[in-house]
Amino acid sequence: MANGSEVVHGYPHLDTVRAAITALYRRLSREGLYAYAASVAPADVSFAEGDDLHLGAQRVAHALVQQLRLPDARMIVSFRGMTHAASVELAAGPEYFIELNDRFRTHRRDIGAALAHEITHVLLHRLGLSFAGTRDNEILTDTVTTYLGAGWLLLDAYREDGVTSQKLGYLTPEEFGYVLAKRALAFGEDPSPWFTSPQAYTAYTDGRDVALHDARQPPLTAAGWAGRHRYAQDRRHARDHPGATTGLPYAFEGGGPDTGLRVSFPCPTCHQRIRIPVRGRVRARCGLCRTVLECDT
């Protein structure tokens, strides 16, 4: 939780974020993910003026449990002084105890964001999905929270001006925007009307640009002229120098006298690598998320 301290920007965790999206597709499958195609509604996670603190927190927690498809999980929410924004006790269930920082007693609009992250920890615990190391595991949690329709709350909790700043979660604002855009492209949902923070909307549009750029990389036919020109140069080089690296997301394999040249590249939806023969225009289907890709190899 950055509260008054400098907020980190940019994409320092992008490789881990992409690996988290791949891991989520592998664990839940494309069909399983479509159960989360609709995000949690703002009305279900907001605090009305005059709402009781504890009853309101329990109501929001229940809405997030439903969003994350944890029907038999009961969240017990309390408040205390602590360094972090929140914590959850992971056990066998069905009851889980979440503690929120005392500051949320007066910053109630962000309770949903803090709860979303902690309840996703419960979901990942039940799914048996984790990354090695605390940092990468927290990035996984933020990514999954966002991709499953609750993480727009975390981005909306980001506010920054010349005097103060606040951000929840481990991703940068732009990385939250990136994952939200990936989700929007996959499920056809636009989260931008839900933002109450102008800075959150700016971060979303920045992340969306990067997400759209993923779908414009060679050998995809949507790649621009400069990318196609560089790809053609790398392809010629790979034919004459098998095993040479490109330093770019795509890579060539084979190319010797006894093997045909193949190209591998990340799927723009789930980031699993796809390998196809180099033979002009082809249509490829990702085996993980089943996205159909038009390619010019």
Task: Provide the percentage of residues in the chain whose pLDDT is more than 90.
Answer: 81
Q: What is the pLDDT of residues 206-258, one digit of tens each?
A: 999 999 999 999 999 999 999 999 999 999 988 888 877 888 899 998 866 55
Q: Does the predicted TM-score (pTM) go above 0.85?
A: yes
Q: Which pLDDT score, from 0 to 100, does residue 284 have?
A: 96
**Rounded distance between C-alpha atoms, residue 152 and residue 195, angstroms:** 8
Give the pLDDT confidence score for residue 241 in this predicted structure: 85
- Number of Cβ within 10 Å of residue 205's Cβ equals 13
The pLDDT confidence band at residue 201, using thresholds 50, 70 and 90, is very high
User: Residues with Cβ < 8 Å from 255, sequence gap 6 or more?
Assistant: 238, 239, 241, 242, 261
pLDDT score at 2: 46
Per-residue confidence (pLDDT) for residue 255, from 0 to 100: 67
Nearest 5°: phi and psi at 67? -60, -40
